[in-house]
Structures are given as structure tokens and as C-alpha cells.
Amino acid sequence: MASLISVGQVVDQTVHHYQKYFKQLLSISLYVFAGTPFFILGTVIYSADNLPRLIISAICTLFGTITSAIASIWIFNALIFTVDTELQTKKTNVSTISKLAWKKFLPSAALSIIIALTLIIITTLCLLPGTAIFLISTAMQSNSLLPFLAGVIFLLFGTVIAACIVAWIGITTIFAPYALMLENTKIFESLHRARALVRGRWWAILLRIIIPNLCVAIILFLAPTIIHFFLSLLATGSPSLIMPLFIINDIANVALTALTVPFLVIADYYVFQSLVDTCKPNAA
């Protein structure tokens, strides 16, 4: 049985694929700008002193958020199908991929909601005891330091436990969308499939996932910081430029997302495919 793809191979193959199919991938990820016009309009219209304009601005922001959420799910689906098609047949049919992405839209959205709610509930339960003790000790205004310290300790302990559980669930479920779309499994079947693929190799997969994500995180942290710094210099002493530069800054951040999302999808795809290839005899 073949061995799991190495960290170096994940990075090398991801970079090669990203460069080779850059135009096709970008043509999909650029739809991340779908909600941007609403956000720009809401920013331009916004006025704290004018209630009608404030309401219109809020409506624009709401429409922008909904549009962005819909576009994000479709983009993620379409990128997975695109990467798979590029590797399997070397040819991509935009119309076919778009239809497949929309076909899997509701299952993909439902899967994301289930995972997100699970993480929220678990985090809340882990933090609840410490938070309750901390709030009660504060409300009682007791002179004793013990209840306060107990609340802090329980809160810190709960935070550590929550972080560990969230990390475990995150890695265990990260390949569920790939199983959902590429293996045509149902929502809960995709979760079981992802868990079966990860079983016994959690740390190895964590390493292969975290390296590409770390590369992107550095870019997403440094690039906006640099852009914001130079735009702030331009806006210094020119109040009239603040609004246009604020909009430019937002557009630049969205553009960075469009450029980096395909990279992460490619990296996860290669790890997923390697897991499938190395788990075939024990596939659930």
C-alpha cells in the first residue's frame, strides 16, 4: 500500500498545480467579489445622523453578507470539482462544474452548519462552568479571592479543553466536504467517511494541513498590514481620501482571499486523495 503524501509533496504539488491552472482557478474564486458591491454601497450611503440612509446601509450590508455566504459555498464546491477535474481529465467544463457546485450547494451548506453548530455547542459547554463560577463570584462581590480564582482556573481549563476538542473535530471533519462531493456520499455518511480516513493518522494529517495553511496565514496577515500602512500614509492630512482608501483596502482584502482560497483547496485535495489511496483496504 502506498504511503501517505509527505509535507514537502503537499507543498510542491500544490504550488505546481496552482501555477499551472491559475487562470481557471481564479475565474472561480473571483466570485468572492459577489457581495462587495453591496458592502461598498452600504459604506458610501452610511450616515449615523440620517436614519433612512442608516437603514439602507444596513440592508445593503445584509444583502452583501448573504450574497457573500452563498458565493463562498459555491466557490468552495466549484474549486473542489475543478481541481479534481484538472487532475483526472486535464480538461475543465465551466458549465458542468457550475451545475455540480449548485447541485451540492444545500448539502454542503448543511454540512458546514452542522460542523459549525457542533463546535459552538462544545465550546460553550466547555466554557460554561468556568464562566458561571466567575460571574457568580463577581456578582456576590465577596472579599474572598478563592471563588474568583476558581472561576478563572475553570475558565482557562475549559478553554484548553475546548481548543483541543475543536482542533480534533476540525481535522476529523475537514475532508467531509471532499467526500460529500467527490464520492457522492450523503451528509452524515461524509462525516463518517472523513473520520474513517483520518483514524489513526490525526497528527500526520495535522502536519500536512497546517503547513499550507500557515503559508497562507502569513500572507493574509502581512499583506493587509502592509496595504493598510501605505493607505494610512496616503490618508494622512486628507480626510476626503479616507472613504475611497477604506473601500480600496476592503477590495484588496477580498482580492487576497480570491488568490489564496484555491491554494488551500488544492492542498487539502492532495491530502484527501492520498488518504483515499492509502485507506482503500480499510475504507469505511
Is 2 within the bounds of a domain? no
Is 283 within the bounds of a domain? no
Is 162 within the bounds of a domain? yes
Report the C-alpha gap between 160 and 169 in whole angstroms: 14
279 close to 198: Cβ distance less than 8 angstroms: no
Closest C-alpha among 79, 34, 37, 70 to residue 261: 79
Is 82 within the bounds of a domain? yes
Residue 112 belongs to what domain range? 7-276
Report the C-alpha gap between 221 and 203 in whole angstroms: 25
How many domains would you assign to the chain? 1
What does the pLDDT read at residue 283? 44
Q: Is the pLDDT of residue 42 over 50?
A: yes
Grid coordinates representing 114 are 452542522
What does the pLDDT read at residue 26? 94
Is 225 within the bounds of a domain? yes
Q: Per the confidence metrics, is the pTM higher than 0.75?
A: yes
Grid coordinates representing 215 are 503559508
% of the chain residues with pLDDT over 90: 56
Q: Is the pLDDT of residue 53 over 60?
A: yes
Is 91 within the bounds of a domain? yes
Q: Work out the end-to-end distance of the chain between its first and last CA atoms, rounded to an integer number of angstroms.
A: 17
Distances, alpha carbon 125 to alpha carbons 68, 97, 209, in Å: 30, 40, 27
Report the C-alpha gap between 85 and 244 in whole angstroms: 40
Q: Is the pLDDT of residue 284 over 50?
A: no
Check residue 5 and report its DSSP letter. P
Q: What share of the chain is helix, strand, coil (3-state, %, to 5)?
A: 85, 0, 15
4 close to 201: Cβ distance less than 8 angstroms: yes
* pLDDT digit string, tens, across residues 171-222: 999 999 999 999 999 999 999 999 999 998 999 999 999 888 887 778 777 7
Is 1 within the bounds of a domain? no
Report the C-alpha gap between 257 and 35 in whole angstroms: 13
Distances, alpha carbon 105 to alpha carbons 73, 181, 214, 277, in Å: 7, 10, 28, 26
Is 284 within the bounds of a domain? no
